[in-house]
Amino acid sequence: MLSDLEIAQQATCQPLWSVAASMGLSPEHLDPYGANVAKISLEALKAPMAKRAAYVLVSAMTPTPLGEGKTTTSVGLAQAMGHLGVRATVALRQPSLGPTFGIKGGAAGGGYSQIIPMERLNLHLTGDFHAVTSAHNMLAALLDNHLFHGNALDIDLSTISWRRVLDINDRSLRSITIGQGEEQDGVERTSGFDITAASEVMAILALASSLQDLRERLGRIVVAYNSSGRAVTAEDLKGAGAMAVLLKDALMPNLLQTLEGSPALIHAGPFGNIATGNSSVIADLIATRTADVVITEAGFGADMGAERFFNIKCRVSGLRPDAGVLVVTVRALKAHSGRFKVVAGKPLPEQMLIESPEDVLAGATNLLAHLAILERHGVHPVVAINAFPGDHDSEHQAIIALVQNAGAEAVVATHFSHGGSGAVPLAEAVMRAVAKGSNFKMLYEDELPLRDKLERIATEVYGADGIDLSPAAEQQLERLVANNMNHLSVCVAKTHLSISSDAKLLGAPKGWRLPVREIRASAGAGFAYAICGTMRTMPGLGAHPAAHRIDLDETGQILGLS
């Protein structure tokens, strides 16, 4: 089989005006960025809407370090809808340059279920990430400039949380000292860099519903506290207006297409560990006005991306999911048996490839726990078995029987190898789930105290017995409450390799408590995030990163991208 890049480079793009026309959008709604990419004007939010599209979330069981193919499944499902005569739009996050040049690679899908042009998607696209980087670092510069000119806001330097960002994996920037040198070089203090996807500005871009909403959210960003414990914001530093100007064009979603010509809205890329891990509200609002079915993906497993989709993104957008797709793989189920070790960048263990329905069922508790998360939110789940060449039919049949016994439907999908035609049974199952109607409900109300929101996520989603706050987290929680932030939603920053906060605990762990090390405010984004364990917000590069093999040939064609 051809590589993903070869498949993408041999594909013929449909004229973008034709893709837009299939959504009911006119050329006036498009701001072209070359031949096959365009931004969609926010005027599209005013387009006539005969009826709201069905809204379908794609999530997954707890993934292995290799990933289980949520993006590929989302694209394949959108293409399959076209085979059924259903107008479908897929809405996805934009890939980050850091992972693209690291181990993970890009995020355009795979095989014959990809977004094209693949190179444009994975490399810069329309510059949205650079706009986020610039806006974030503008605020950092204004903060340090304020300190240099006398610190009129009486900022307590020990409370400064606003670091700088860069969209490249670079571990050497995690902890640095700034302001070194002569007096004119600024106030010396310790700081560091995060990857751009981890910026609160990125989360705000994903959650803003209009330019005015964007501007107001930027103003609410908390960068530090003063000596009296009052929050110091971007508005206090007079930086929110300049940030909004830098982000004005970035707020418009990007229009691309799948290999089979289905519309794809690519917009924003918030980090999946400490932020929502979902694409933008604006892209979904436009898509639900211009399609029969909208398919969107949430990062990592249902315990992380789906929970945040339900309780943060849907709270902001007002949209309600009609069905959910849970992506599972034979290899992920075998991994959760505890009998095999999967390592990113390395082949699967040979023993893992041997036909063994028993090993598959040994990891079933994880799958069932994720099904329960969707059902807890009143969403009918369909299990998509993302088939790999090394799978065995008996293993697929074991999954189907397991899911049926749990009261849901499971379908084998071969969209990676066969494109939309390989996911037609999945599309039919999703439409059956949509027809049932959902009874969507959020996990908590706005008025519930932050501590109770956090405990509800820990106990009802993760299966923990409760939460344990460190003394520092207790103080930080008290400070958030004192600054009138008790209404915020909660985003738990934890490992994505387990439903628990311990990456070594497989399946659906019981008899544990969620340890909360810190609680920080992302007031502009509208949530507080509880840090559980050590979270790396600036990734590093491995010994043999993808950057080593990415190059150009003599004609200028890109090589080695994955």
What burial class does residue 86 get, using C-beta atoms within 10 Å of its C-beta: 0-12 exposed, 13-18 middle, 19+ buried? middle
- What's the confidence (pLDDT) of residue 96? 94
Per-residue pLDDT tens over the stretch 530-539 = 999 777 889 9
Beta bridge partners of 528: 490, 521
Q: Is 179 left (phi over 0), alpha (psi -120 to 50) or beta?
A: left
Alpha-carbon torsion angle 430, 432, 436, 441, nearest 10: -10
- Is 130-249 in the same CATH topology as 4-127+250-436? no
Pick 450-531's CATH classification: 3.40.50.2000, 3.10.410.10, 3.30.70.890, 1.20.1250.20: 3.10.410.10
With a cut of 90, say whether residue 61 has pLDDT above it.
Answer: yes
Task: Give the tens place of pLDDT for each residue, 257-281.
Answer: 999 999 999 999 998 888 899 999 9
Give the per-residue pLDDT at 347.
86
Region 124-129: what's the mean pLDDT? 96
How far from 360 is each of 114, 125, 177, CA to CA, in Å?
28, 39, 49
Strands 222-225 and 409-413, by their bridges, are unpaired
Helices 211-219 and 200-207, axial angle in degrees (round to 10): 150
Question: What DSSP line would sit under 271-315, residue for residue?
Answer: -TTTS--B--HHHHHHHHHH-SEEEEEBSSSIIIIIHHIIIIIHH
CA 309 to chain centroid: 9
| pLDDT value at residue 521 | 95
Give the contacts of 410 (CB within 8 A, at least 6 positions apart): 328, 382, 383, 384, 385, 399, 400, 402, 403, 404
Model confidence pTM above 0.85:
yes
Mean pLDDT, all residues of the chain: 95
Distances (CA, A) of 22 to 93, 113, 225, 252, 360: 21, 19, 50, 19, 42
The reported pLDDT for the residue numbered 282 is 98
DSSP state of 266: E
* Helix H or strand E encompassing 192: none
CA distances from 384 to 67, 72, 104, 306, 454 (A): 14, 11, 22, 15, 30
Count of C-beta atoms within a 10 Å radius of residue 402: 21
Averaged pLDDT, 19-39: 94
Where exactly are the structural domains of the chain? Answer: 4-127+250-436, 130-249, 450-531
- The rounded distance, in Å, linking the Cα atoms of 408 and 19 is 34
The tokens describing 543, both together, are: 């010994």
Percent over 70 (pLDDT), the chain: 100
* CA pair distance 238, 242, nearest whole angstrom: 8
Higher pLDDT, 299 or 266: 266
Cβ–Cβ < 8 Å for 299, 272? yes
Question: Would you call 338 exposed, middle or buried from its count of C-beta atoms within 10 A (0-12, 13-18, 19+)?
Answer: middle
Q: Phi first, then psi: give them for residue 189, nearest 5 degrees.
A: -160, 160
**pLDDT value at residue 7:** 94
Residue 105 confidence (pLDDT) above 90: no
Residue 253: the pLDDT is 98
- We find that the CATH architecture of domain 4-127+250-436 is 3-Layer(aba) Sandwich (3.40)
Query: Exposure of 552 by Cβ count < 10 A (0-12 exposed, 13-18 middle, 19+ buried)?
Result: exposed
Q: Which residue's entry shows tokens 């571990």? A: 171
| Angle made by CA atoms 447, 280, 431, in degrees to the nearest 5 | 95
Cα 335 to Cα 353: distance, rounded to the nearest angstrom: 11
Using one digit for the tens of pLDDT, what is the confidence trace for 230-259? Answer: 999 999 999 999 999 999 999 999 999 999
* Residue pair 222/523 in contact by the 8 Å Cβ criterion: yes
Structure tokens at 472: 């520092």
Tokens of 194: 């995060």
Confidence of residue 562 (pLDDT cuts 50, 70, 90): confident
Predicted local confidence at residue 106, as pLDDT = 84
Higher pLDDT, 562 or 513: 513
Burial grade of 83 (CB within 10 A; 0-12, 13-18, 19 or more): middle
pLDDT, greater one: 561 or 178: 178
Per-residue pLDDT, 195: 95
How is 361-400 classified by DSSP, letter by letter?
HHTHHHHHHHHHHHHHTT--EEEEEE--TT--HHHHHHHH
| pLDDT tens profile 371-401 | 999 999 999 999 999 999 889 999 999 999 9
Domain 130-249, what architecture?
A: 2-Layer Sandwich (3.30)
293: tokens are 């079915």
> Looking at the predicted structure, is the pLDDT value of residue 49 above 80?
no
User: How far is 224 from 375, CA to CA, in rounded Å?
Assistant: 39
Helix (H, G, I), strand (E, B) or coil at 225: strand
Contact yes or no for 91/76 (Cβ under 8 A)? no
Helix (H) or strand (E) holding 328: strand 323-328
pLDDT of residue 47: 75
pLDDT beyond 80 at 321: yes
Q: Which amino acid is at 234?
A: A
pLDDT level of residue 80 (50, 70, 90 thresholds): very high
Strand partners, 518: 531
Measured CA to CA, the distance from residue 25 to residue 45 in angstroms comes to 10
| pLDDT tens-place string over residues 414-470 | 999 999 999 999 999 999 999 998 999 999 999 999 999 999 999 999 999 999 999
Beta bridge partners of 323: 56
**Distance (Å, whole) CA 84 – CA 91:** 19
C-alpha span between 64 and 129 (Å, rounded): 27
Residue 103: band (very low, low, confident or very high) from pLDDT cuts 50, 70, 90: confident
